[in-house]
Structure 1
């Protein structure tokens, strides 16, 4: 199962940043909260010390309570041992001097107790809930900048990772855009990360070996076809000369089978030569070839073959469109597509040919009324010598392989699909090439 390196890097780094931010935020929150509580303890202590230093004459207890409009800042001051405190919470009188935390009337209080020089003992207290609220507000103020920084930091991380992987994406686009060029010239390692460059060098070495093997294979096919062409022509001539001689019906029947076999072998050799020419890397064509003109020439050779099988050929050319290609390549492409369609269309069937100009593409489409191809085998049609199982039509399985090589050489694309069941049956092959005016 494939995965995205960019996604994984972003996910892992994001998780690490969030974890670090959570730990830092928790530590900062607790530290700020502790400092706030210590500050409030110091405040209680300072109030008690101030009362002691001023040697206050003690008024009625209820007047010792501080008054403020903010309930969160409310501080209670009581003289211990005085029962007359109204409806306020009564602090225990047996508390030792110093800081205490205790529960009074189901409320948590934080108290500071101090003995005055006049013998009185006072307690300065604050509700714990109010202290905690103040501490939490102060602690949260330290986390807010961190919360604001996290999305900014994550955005920067994703941007940096995307920027770092951009050369790899460009390399992938380069290979996808012109895969044949990669076999002729090495992939550039300029601007690639040091961690990726060794991989690209290995790919270049692999492509170089593959290119050499392909060239050897092409050269062998071309040489073998050329070497077989002359002997095959001589055999066909001798068989034809032999047919003029007197012979029995049995011998003549065998001779006819021999001639048919020689014809198939000669056709295979011609297809091998066509495949070799299609695979050859030639300079890009600069002239524009009109598809309609090439089609007319190809049909002149193939119409008699279709008429012999009572196949009706229709042509719909909406646009007089041209492509940048050699006429021989376009003619070979059309001839192989139409030859296949004639072979696999039953007698009395139809073949529809279309030439269209859509956007910046010229489309040559062939639709037959044959049996079609199983969907799971369509991707294999371009393999050399592949034939659909159960096929009885003559051929070696090279026609569509030749078409595929020519389309690649012309920087085009080809699509294959079966005719929809509600429209009948058959196969539709469409070749899309870069159009020229």
Structure 2
């Protein structure tokens, strides 16, 4: 790309020079004679250089646009190939995973309740179901990235209620209160599976960093043309950490999550950010008014 810019710059300089030589007689010919001399020659030269400069800037702008367009084209092709690969891989994996899950179900049904292998078989069923959901999420993500408008309508308050119910057992085990706030009837467009996973990851992290007796709240709010899905906790907060730094993969605080303090996100927050981007939204992380942490998933509202 460097040589292309250098070549374009050289062409602009040459064209500007040629334009100066070509326009000098024309500019001088159209003016009435008031006597020759250095002043008149300087005026003609300034006018000629001004015209040549304008033409040179225009040519440079066009050349820069064409070069930039050519440089970005391979990136767009690479992203398109990546989306096709994800979609093709998802389609290829979906059928064998469905067959495996069905076979595991049949085996589990034929096993006696007292069979010692039954718990392992039930765990296999859960694992195969999770793999199927991951494949569905990959397919949905590929579709949403290519065309964000192809998602399904999602009522976000119902989604938050569902997540709170599924995480209630974990919250009780950690002696943390979990609640949901916000109006019903607010809709977004996207992948329900992907959004559920993203919000569940935020809730799981909030529960892991909230001490016994604390609380975690899921809330929905409407701000203009956007819906804000917030997860707020009364835990240790960010302890001066940079929120932007925590969105990197495998980012962690100064201490591990299972130590005396410090937040650790691993892949979780980076994946949540990718889900937000696929839905045309953003993820923000900051301190909560109560001293804990607050994560906000901001998505376009469904019109």
Q: Shorter-chain TM-score category?
A: 0.5 to 0.7
Following superposition, the deviation at residue 350 of structure 1 comes to: 2.7
Q: 1:260 to 1:223 in 2, by over 3 A?
A: closer
Say if 1:298 and 1:331, in contact at 8 Å, map to a contact too: no
Following superposition, the deviation at residue 345 of structure 1 comes to: 1.9
Output the CA distance in 1 between the equivalents of 2:121 and 2:252.
23
The aligned residue for residue 112 of structure 1 is none
Say if 1:319 and 1:356, in contact at 8 Å, map to a contact too: no
Output the CA distance in 1 between the equivalents of 2:87 and 2:189.
25
The aligned residue for residue 158 of structure 1 is 57
TM-score of the two chains, using structure 1 as the length reference? 0.46
Unaligned runs of 5+ in 1: 26-136, 172-195, 246-253
Q: 1:293 to 1:370 in 2, by over 3 A?
A: same
Structure number with greater CO (CA < 8 Å, separation at least 6) is 2
Output the CA distance in 1 between the equivalents of 2:4 and 2:179.
52
The aligned residue for residue 323 of structure 1 is 188
Following superposition, the deviation at residue 434 of structure 1 comes to: 1.9
Say if 2:201 and 2:268, in contact at 8 Å, map to a contact too: no
Select the structure of larger CA radius of gyration. Answer: 1
The aligned residue for residue 147 of structure 1 is 46
Say if 2:12 and 2:60, in contact at 8 Å, map to a contact too: no
Output the CA distance in 2 between the equivalents of 1:150 and 1:330.
62
2:248 matches 1:379: yes
TM-score of the two chains, using structure 2 as the length reference? 0.61
SS of 2:114's equivalent? helix
Q: CA RMSD in A?
A: 5.2
Unaligned runs of 5+ in 2: 25-35, 259-265
SS of 1:242's equivalent? coil
The aligned residue for residue 86 of structure 2 is 214
2:226 matches 1:361: yes
Q: 1:228 to 1:319 in 2, by over 3 A?
A: closer
Q: 1:234 to 1:379 in 2, by over 3 A?
A: farther
- The residue correspondences of 1:198-347 to structure 2 (distance < 5 A) are 200=73, 209-233=81-105, 241-242=113-114, 258=120, 262=124, 265-266=127-128, 268-279=130-141, 281=143, 284=149, 289-317=154-182, 321-325=186-190, 329-330=191-192, 332-342=194-204, 345-346=207-208, 347=211
Deviation string 1:388-422 (CA, Å, 9 cap, x unpaired) is: 99566xxx9689748835751x3x123243538x9
Output the CA distance in 2 between the equivalents of 1:400 and 1:154.
48
Following superposition, the deviation at residue 333 of structure 1 comes to: 1.0
